[in-house]
Structure 1
């Protein structure tokens, strides 16, 4: 499978700015599905390129699953190292408004496997 193209940083910034008021709590209305999907997918794919590898799977249902972090490749069945969360928690971590460990402690982030916490090293991707 060929590697995905790198995410344009301006495109990522634009997508995150579009959902910024919701993340900051200034707007209680959830962004349109297309806006939310763009922000989640672009940020996850940025992580995929920033921390290349396939030892940790990052899941943000229903929008994206990416593999990152160098190490043993996972190809079948349930991966040994998984990070899974909802779109809002993911975007809060991506923008630096919520720490990885804080999200895990609050129960809004599922982290399993010995390498999964390494994702926290790569966040935030873009502070707003």
Structure 2
């Protein structure tokens, strides 16, 4: 089982990323990684399951949403995006529909839709 990120550490990393972004400075890689993993952890807690894989390379991936369990090979429902898009979507800065329409989210499969789960409200 993956190591859980402490809530205070996750929120601190998220705040550091937001502060850097607002100042148009590149956030520290460790803060970015922790913020992404913390938000993926929140998604897993909100929608546990194994039917959709959400990937935010190179920082993390999680399988979520109840449904048919996937066990081998490439999952049939995959969502992938960069870290900035994931953080914006998870925190409500950008909606699922805006990110998809802007081409910042690659989603395949009939269950590959997080619109009902966003934002996470960390």
- State the TM-score, normalizing by the size of structure 2: 0.91
Q: Which residue of 2 aligns with 1:34?
A: 30
**What number of residue pairs does the alignment pair up?**
122
1:6·1:49 contact (CA, 8 Å) conserved in 2?
Answer: no
> SS in structure 2 opposite 1:21?
helix
The answer to whether residue 97 in structure 2 is matched with residue 101 in structure 1 is yes
Tell me by how many angstroms 1:8 deviates: 4.1
Q: Which residue of 2 aligns with 1:86?
A: 82
Per-residue displacement from partner, 1:72-100 (whole Å, max 9, x unpaired)? 11111111101100000000001100000
1:84·1:109 contact (CA, 8 Å) conserved in 2?
Answer: yes
Unaligned runs of 5+ in 2: none
Distance in structure 2 (CA, Å) of the matches to 1:6 and 1:124: 20
Q: Which residue of 2 aligns with 1:126?
A: 121
Q: Which residue of 2 aligns with 1:116?
A: 112
Map residues 50-65 of structure 1 onto 2, 5 A cutoff: 50-65=46-61
Q: Which residue of 2 aligns with 1:73?
A: 69
Q: Which residue of 2 aligns with 1:18?
A: 16
- State the TM-score, normalizing by the size of structure 1: 0.87
Name segments (4+ residues, structure 1) moved above 3 Å.
4-11
